[in-house]
Amino acid sequence: MIEARELTKRYGDKTVVDHLSFIVKPGEVTGFLGPNGAGKSTTMRMIIGLDSPTAGSVTVNGKSYARHAAPLQEIGTLLEAKSVHPGRTAFNHLMALAHTHGISRRRVDEVIELAGLTSVAGQRVGAFSLGMGQRLGIASALLGDPAIVMLDEPVNGLDPEGVLWVRNLLRGLADEGRAVMLSSHLMSETALIADHLVIIGRGRLLADTTVDDFTREAGGSGVKVATTEAVKLRSLLAGPEVTISSSSAEELVVVGRDAREIGVIAAQHGVALYELTPQAVSLETAFMELTHDAVEYQSAPADTERKAA
């Protein structure tokens, strides 16, 4: 378990992480989301003691990271720009790490296989593609068989097969009872892997929720119905919790009744429908709306860019 309490980091007069509290629980995948510059990497660096908090605290399995005698066995991490000696082979890199923690050669072979690196284990890391480097980073994170796995942007640079592999691997690790935390700036990808979401912007907590709740809230913007009998259908669907708007003579947008209910009412009254479409908001759109005011690097709208060009 990771527990952050009022975690704060300032660089000069800039507050990069601002009174952030959250829990990463065993048996769950926690997605740590935020736009570029939100403070995700800084928070992760503080979790493993690479940066010290200006205020607040964070513990890993009940203690600060530095107080664990064998931290690799508590928390396995993949942080961006991890330093790996380019002249070493993948096998030697993992063996060197294993030696520092008394981890057996057998475990090194296991993680090489788990990460799909068997055929390239004897190759120099400097010649690795971005995707192979990510796999090696994940293999390193799993070396100590840790109860917590924390990965910064683990699908960066991976091809679709690699993305699927990470997704299944992380799901499997959580199902074994481990606490899994992964950062991302992609909501849709994270929603496929995570159970729990911690969303930050400008270092502050914007939402601590579940993927199910976030998806449900993002989806509730009505059902579009098209029929030649719009006036009749409007009165059939009316109700105290129902709002109906109309953009043309044959179209209604109904909020407060789902598509199934509307279809059944229309059929019972012999009203023919030629469209019945739930107006789902994409997860990415909902995420962008949530984080909009907290985006550090706003891009100009596309048409402004065109005019400027």
Ligand X SMILES: Nc1ncnc2c1ncn2[C@@H]1O[C@H](COP(=O)(O)OP(=O)(O)OP(=O)(O)O)[C@@H](O)[C@H]1O
Cβ proximity to ligand X, 11 vs 113, nearer residue: 11
Q: Report CA-CA distances (Å) from 63 to 1, 4, 26, 69, 91.
A: 10, 11, 16, 11, 31
Q: Which two tokens stand for residue 111?
A: 């993680």
Cβ proximity to ligand X, 204 vs 232, nearer residue: 204
Bridge partner list, 33 = 184, 199
User: What's the closest the beta carbon of residue 181 comes to ligand X, in angstroms?
Assistant: 13
Does 34 sit near ligand X (CB under 6 A)? Answer: yes
Cβ proximity to ligand X, 13 vs 241, nearer residue: 13
Cβ proximity to ligand X, 15 vs 89, nearer residue: 15
Cβ proximity to ligand X, 274 vs 297, nearer residue: 297
Quick one: which of 16, 143, 170, 254 contacts ligand X (CB under 6 A)?
A: 16
Instruction: Reduce the DSSP state of residue 259 to 3 states and report it.
Output: helix
Helices (H) and strands (E) in the chain, counts: 11, 13
Residue span binding ligand X (CB under 6 A) among the ranges 35-43, 60-68, 115-123, 215-223? 35-43
User: What's the closest the beta carbon of residue 155 comes to ligand X, in angstroms?
Assistant: 13
Quick one: which of 26, 37, 116, 157 contacts ligand X (CB under 6 A)?
A: 37
Contacts of 283 (CB under 8 A, 6+ apart): 187, 188, 191, 214, 215, 218
Q: Which helix or strand (DSSP H or E) is residue 14 part of? A: strand 14-24
Quick one: which of 31, 39, 154, 222 contacts ligand X (CB under 6 A)?
A: 39
Burial status of residue 198 (CB atoms within 10 A of its CB: 0-12, 13-18, 19 or more): buried
Binders of ligand X among residues 164 to 223 (CB under 6 A) are 185
Cβ proximity to ligand X, 3 vs 153, nearer residue: 153
Binders of ligand X among residues 42 to 81 (CB under 6 A) are 42
Bridge partner list, 3 = 23, 59
Q: Lay out the site mask for ligand X across 128-167 (x = CB under 6 A, - = otherwise).
A: ----------------------------------------
User: What's the closest the beta carbon of residue 101 comes to ligand X, in angstroms?
Assistant: 27
How many residues bind ligand X (CB under 6 A)? The answer is: 12
Quick one: which of 11, 168, 220, 300 contacts ligand X (CB under 6 A)?
A: 11
Cβ proximity of 195 and 29 under 8 Å: yes
Cβ proximity to ligand X, 42 vs 227, nearer residue: 42
User: What's the closest the beta carbon of residue 37 comes to ligand X, in angstroms?
Assistant: 4
Angle between helices 105-114 and 90-100 (to 10 degrees): 130
Distance in angstroms (rounded) separating the CA atoms of residues 309 and 89: 47
Instruction: Pick the closest to residue 116 from 144, 92, 88, 136 (CA basis).
Output: 136
Cβ proximity of 167 and 16 under 8 Å: no
Residue span binding ligand X (CB under 6 A) among the ranges 33-41, 114-122, 154-162, 236-244? 33-41
Query: Rule CB under 6 A: which residues touch ligand X?
Result: 11, 16, 34, 36-42, 185, 296
